[in-house]
Chains A and B, each alone.
Chain A
């Protein structure tokens, strides 16, 4: 696509009058990033002017930033001018039936226990084959609508609920926050918007819906979730199924807003392509996730990270309101040459705020796994409490586990506790299990599951089972 084409797109957007249309052919913008490209993305999505301005502001700020290098990660810096920042959603199915799908992928699906219909969606089999899923999806939509819950792609929400989006977008993760957040704010492709009205308890895990609805998450995903006063929602992002994606760089932003008395449970299972066993290829995952807690509200992050070649991610909570609660339960497993630098920030502002951090890192092969966390007790955090527990399990002699905790307290009545352990699966443990009739592989899986139990227990039931199997699969070949 040429410069002229970009201009055409910009022009045609202004006289667009038929509402959202989806018959866009697959097309990709030229590589590189400049204001015209940002405008063109916004135009392609038929966005209102305030959104275009928001993107441009973010882009201009991004131009002043340097890519961060403080993380415990080694990788080749992406060439930000070598990427195409817009690719229209490809709707054409890749395969006519499951018979055409890579049998290895299907075996993994089976082992994870993913239902056949979902397998079809995930592996890109033509949608019209997937009758059940379509009807299931419609049922979900009806139920949510009746309760006044809004759950839709953020691109649609920008048009249909501009006031809500405008009120909250960028309020928790401002476009000035960091390099990747600025980039995401300028060029985000799509993502999800969710609003739970006052006093409504969302009756289902938004996971099931999400998994079926997913299809092509995109490179720069944007999620905005607002839980109004005294509402509750449990949201699951991602999927245990191996996600294959052509884009190497992923930079998502997730913002959560829990208003007075609301509760948000946000769970992530991330299993993107980690590269091969020699460390070639794989996804770079640079994510900014943060939530703000108003009075008496609660945000709970649970993450199981087994994928990606490089992970840079710190789901955090700003505990602004008195008596609010933040939780972070993380299980990061790295194998071969994977690298993960992940953790959380708990910023205590309100009185009697409480936070719990449980981080479990499992390193195998030649991988590097770091926990990085910040707990900050501000002057007003009277009576606040934090408890942090960081456990590392080493599976080989070549891997590394690192912990970088930062604790600062300006409040004499605040209490901060930090516990950390590092352990290795011992030969004695393996022999003990062997003697009871367990193979070494089974023994390792059992020990790893035991180590991970506290985090897995926080996942929605069906995913806890899948995540457990996922760990076993991810660990294969890491013993001995």
Chain B
């Protein structure tokens, strides 16, 4: 599904951040990407999603066999890439309802489909909101405006549920969540798992991985994946920190 080879990228202020990433994600898999601060985790998700603040300088980036370098962020979204943001932005005056409706219909139009009938849309929105235990009253509030950290993340997972992407990237979705919110968010993600879609979980802490069980754990350091393992790697990191890996690598 996602095939990344020798990927290098820099930020728009000229810093080389990714220095040769290799990563393959197949349908049905859950990958966790861990690593200390500043290792390039968020940059990797930004480059996959096509954030113009980062410039890809080398390597290949394929999604379902297609080179996606030249595609705009919205075209990548239409093809099924979803990014749950670490810091979701506020859009005053635009309700969650209106926003998700616009997003769904933009995607449908890109596929040459008519807008989703209002009744069907309403039912679907209700159902997905229930999945992440999002109070329906939230749907008529301005997107992320005045939301708590947990509410923002739940609103992200709600959008993910509604858009049903084939590849979901969760960037630090656990940051700022208390244990209950974490459980709810993780539950939502797990319910959406299927043999056809894949998830990349970017996280600092192994805590989230108690709830979303990864098939692979990768450790990112200074723009490279320095270690790949199974779930047990996350537990080992929890116990020993990153230093032993970094020492080995150096």
- Do the two shown chains form a genuine complex with each other? yes
Which A residues fall within an 8 A CB radius of B?
A: 426-429, 431-439, 442, 446-447, 449-454
Interface contact A447-B91, CB-CB below 8 Å: yes
Q: Give the residues in chain B near A442, CB-CB below 8 Å.
A: 102, 106
> Are A447 and B94 in contact, with the CB atoms below 8 A?
yes
| Bound form: Cα–Cα A450–B96 in Å | 11
State which of B47-55, B116-124, B197-205 sits at the interface with chain A: B47-55
Residues A432 and B89 in contact, CB atoms below 8 Å apart: yes
Provided the pairs A437-B103, A446-B99, A450-B142 are in contact, do residues A431 and B92 lie with their beta carbons within 8 angstroms?
A: no
B148 interface residue, CB < 8 Å from A?
no
Indicate if the CB atoms of A450 and B83 lie closer than 8 Å.
Answer: no
A452-B93, A453-B93, A454-B93 in contact; A434/B142 too (CB < 8 A)?
Answer: no
Please report the C-alpha to C-alpha distance between residue A432 and residue B94 in the assembled complex, in whole angstroms: 13
6 A-B pairs (CB sep. < 8 Å) = A429-B91, A431-B52, A435-B74, A436-B159, A437-B78, A437-B103
> Interface on chain A toward B: helix, strand, loop, or mixed SS?
helix
Partner of A437 from B89, B93, B94, B110 at Cβ < 8 Å: B110
Q: Which of B51, B92, B99, B159 has the largest number of chain A CB atoms within 10 A?
A: B92
| Alpha-carbon separation in the docked complex, A431 to B88 (Å) | 11
In the assembled complex, the Cα of A434 lies from the Cα of B74 at a distance in Å of 5
Chain A residues with CB under 8 A of B53 = 427, 431
Contact A446 B73 (CB under 8 A): no
Task: Report A-chain residues with C-beta under 8 Å of the C-beta of B74.
Answer: 434-435, 437-439
Measured between beta carbons, the chain B residues less than 8 angstroms from A451 are 92-93
In the assembled complex, the CB of B64 is this many whole angstroms from the nearest CB of chain A, namely: 17
Determine whether the beta carbon of B103 is less than 8 Å from that of A450: no
Does B211 have its Cβ within 8 Å of any Cβ on chain A?
A: no
**How far apart sit A442 and B107, CA to CA, in the bound complex (Å)?**
12
**B185 contacts chain A at the CB level, 8 A cutoff:** no
Q: Please tell me the number of chain B residues within 8 Å of chain A, measured between CB atoms.
A: 29
Query: Which residues of chain B from 66 to 119 have a CB within 8 Å of any chain A CB?
Result: 72-74, 77-78, 82-83, 85, 88-89, 91-94, 98-99, 102-103, 106-107, 110
Chain A residues lying within 8 Å of B88, measured Cβ to Cβ, are 432
Instruction: Report chain A residues within 8 Å CB of B93.
Output: 449-454
Flag if B52 contacts A446 (CB, 8 Å). no
With A432-B85, A446-B99 as known contacts, state yes or no: A437 contacts B107, CB within 8 Å: yes
Report yes or no: A450 in contact with B92, Cβ–Cβ below 8 A.
Answer: yes
A434-B77 in contact (CB<8A): yes
Q: Does B182 contact A (CB under 8 A)?
A: no
Known: A427-B53, A428-B89, A429-B89. A434 touches B73 (CB 8 A): yes
Q: Which residues of A contact B102 (CB under 8 A)?
A: 438, 442, 446
- B163 contacts the other chain (Cβ, under 8 Å)? yes
Contact of B49 among A428, A435, A452 (CB under 8 A): A435
Q: In the bound complex, what is the Cα–Cα distance between A376 and B18 (angstroms)?
A: 60
Chain A residue contacts of B85, Cβ below 8 A: 432, 435
Chain B residues within 8 Å of A437, by CB: 74, 77-78, 103, 106-107, 110, 163
Contacts of A426 in B (CB 8 A): 89
- A434 and B72 form a contact (CB under 8 A): yes
B99 proximity list for chain A (CB < 8 A)? 436, 446
Complexed CA–CA distance, A431 and B50 (Å): 9
Q: Who on chain A is nearest to B76 by CB?
A: A435
What separation, in Å, do the CA atoms of A283 and B179 have in the docked complex? 61
Known: A427-B53, A431-B73. A438 touches B103 (CB 8 A): yes
